[in-house]
Amino acid sequence: MGIKKVTVAGLFFLFSLAGQAQIIQDTTHKVVNYADSALRIRNINPYFTLHVDSTLKYGFEINKEQSQYYWYLKNSPVGLKINKDNGLLTFKAEKSYFLSGKLKYDYEYKVNIGIQNLNNPSERIDTSFILLFYNTEIIPSKIKPTVTNTLYIDEGDTISFKLQCDNGSFPIEEITYFSNYLAKSLTPVNKCNDDYTWYAPFDFVKESDKDRLKLLELFFVGTNKFSIRDTAIIHVYVRENINYPQRVMEYEKLRRDVMVYIVQLKSSFRIVDKKLKKTKKTRTGFDLGSAATGLGGTVFSSMSSSDQKTAGKILPSVGVALVPVKEATAPNNSSDQNTASLIRNSIKRLEYLIADNTIVGERDPEILNKTKKLKDELKQMQIQLIDIPIADENLNSKELDDYFNNPKVNKKYKVKQK
């Protein structure tokens, strides 16, 4: 009796498990049928990579009959096609596309793809995938400045050129530069097609540089995203040049100094010349007095009166006595005459030098030589006339010129023919 109860219970348990398995199987079957009712692409590939000169053929599949649907692409790169009836994606990655610039290496093209029911427009799918092209033949990118690699300029000149790039497989993304001397660009240089601009200062070439020529080396380094570099080198030979604006200012200042010194010398000359003139008048007065006493003595000696004869004997002695008085009162100083002649000759020389070394225009190529000659002559004159006192008087250049060029004054200093 106990055995029958166990057997019946076991059969009841097995029938119960069979019933539950059947219910699960029916439920799963219903879920699968429900999912297949929505339109979907079974084999969408989100990423395609193609080598140059390769061919792509990829057929998209849907979960329904494709004859009732229409395939299309949006934003597709040149050459990419899809069969509108069966969804076959084809592409021939020809190298000519890349050489002409229509396609780029290592650039992710986002392509929109869609499928639509011909009878029910609301039944459609829009999605996208990425298409990328790569090339195992790497073409290096080059920096190409718009000038030759050797330039010759003068101080004060400005050079400016564009840094063009010949992009290969991987374009140059950043440009840096450095040089053997400080030569910072006046315009920013960071990328392709930027301009490098530099002004050569007038003090760039030093006196110690050979042949008054200095070499400036410019190095432009371009780097792509893989840190691969290309370097362009420009050799700039800078020649020494004259800073005309500054040199003209220096010349004009020196010329004014010479003119002031000439006026001072003319004032000193007038003082010395007047002193000589006063001395000459005094000595002439004494000489005439001596001559008059001598002549008077002779005249009185010839007279009959004893007093007159006595006066005739005394007067010659008076004339003799006037000679030491003359020398004491107005000594005959030949050094003053020499000093006046020296000052006058120095003035004439400086005036001639100024007239002979006048600069012509704002860019006289001989301005350095003319300035040096004036400076040397002025220094030499100042050393030579260092003992000549400079008059502390109100210097009127017009009055001094009139006195210096007076014919009577000039007559005394002319060379006399014997």
What CA–CA distance (Å, rounded) separates 215 from 209? 10
What CA–CA distance (Å, rounded) separates 252 from 266? 21
Angular region, 26: left φ>0, alpha ψ -120 to 50, beta rest: alpha
According to DSSP, the residues that pair with 74 across neighbouring strands are: 112
In this prediction, residue 158 carries a pLDDT of: 94
What CA–CA distance (Å, rounded) separates 87 from 299? 158
| Fold for the domain defined by 142-241 | Immunoglobulin-like (2.60.40)
What's the per-residue H, E or C state across the chain? Answer: CHHHHHHHHHHHHHHHHHHHHHHHHHHHHHHHHHHCCCCCECCCCCEEEEECCCEEEEECCECCCHHHEEEEEECCCCCCEECCCCCEEEEECCHHHHHCCCCCCCCCEEEEEEEEECCCCCCEEEEEEEEEEECCCCCCCEEEECCCCEEEEECCCEEEEEEEEECCCCCCCEEEEEECCCCCCCCCCCCCCCEEEEECCCCCCCCCCHHHEEEEEEEEEEECCCCCEEEEEEEEEEECCCCHHHHHHHHHHHHHHHHHHHHHHHHHHHHHHHHHHHHHHHHHHHHHHHHHHHHHHHHHHCCCCHHHHHHHHHHHHHHHHHHHHHHHHCCCCHHHHHHHHHHHHHHHHHHHHHHHCCCCCCCCCCHHHHHHHHHHHHHHHHHHCCCCCCCCCCCCHHHHHHHHCCHHHHHHCCCCCC
What CA–CA distance (Å, rounded) separates 233 from 115? 56
Both tokens of 63, joined, read 């979960």
In this prediction, residue 313 carries a pLDDT of: 54
The dotted CATH code for 47-134 is 2.60.40.10
All CATH 2.60.40.10 domain ranges of the chain, comma separated, are 47-134, 142-241
Q: Which of 264, 270, 237 is nearest to 340 (CA)?
A: 270
What CA–CA distance (Å, rounded) separates 330 from 76? 119
Question: Do 93 and 56 form a contact (C-beta atoms < 8 A)?
Answer: yes
In this prediction, residue 202 carries a pLDDT of: 86
What CA–CA distance (Å, rounded) separates 143 from 228? 12
Q: Which of 132, 133, 129 is nearest to 60 (CA)?
A: 129
Provide the residue-wise pLDDT of the chain in tens; the chain has 418 residues.
Answer: 444 443 434 434 433 433 333 333 334 444 444 445 788 888 888 999 988 888 889 999 888 888 889 999 998 898 899 999 898 999 988 888 888 888 888 889 999 999 999 888 888 889 999 999 887 777 789 999 999 999 999 998 999 999 999 988 789 999 999 999 999 999 999 999 999 999 999 889 988 888 889 999 999 999 998 888 999 999 999 998 888 888 888 889 999 999 888 888 888 887 777 776 555 555 455 455 555 555 555 655 666 566 655 655 555 555 554 455 444 444 455 555 677 788 888 888 888 988 888 888 777 888 888 888 989 988 888 888 887 777 666 667 788 888 878 777 777 776 655 5
What CA–CA distance (Å, rounded) separates 128 from 125? 10
Give 62's Cβ-side CA count (13 Å radius).
Answer: 23
Give 232's Cβ-side CA count (13 Å radius).
Answer: 25
In this prediction, residue 248 carries a pLDDT of: 87
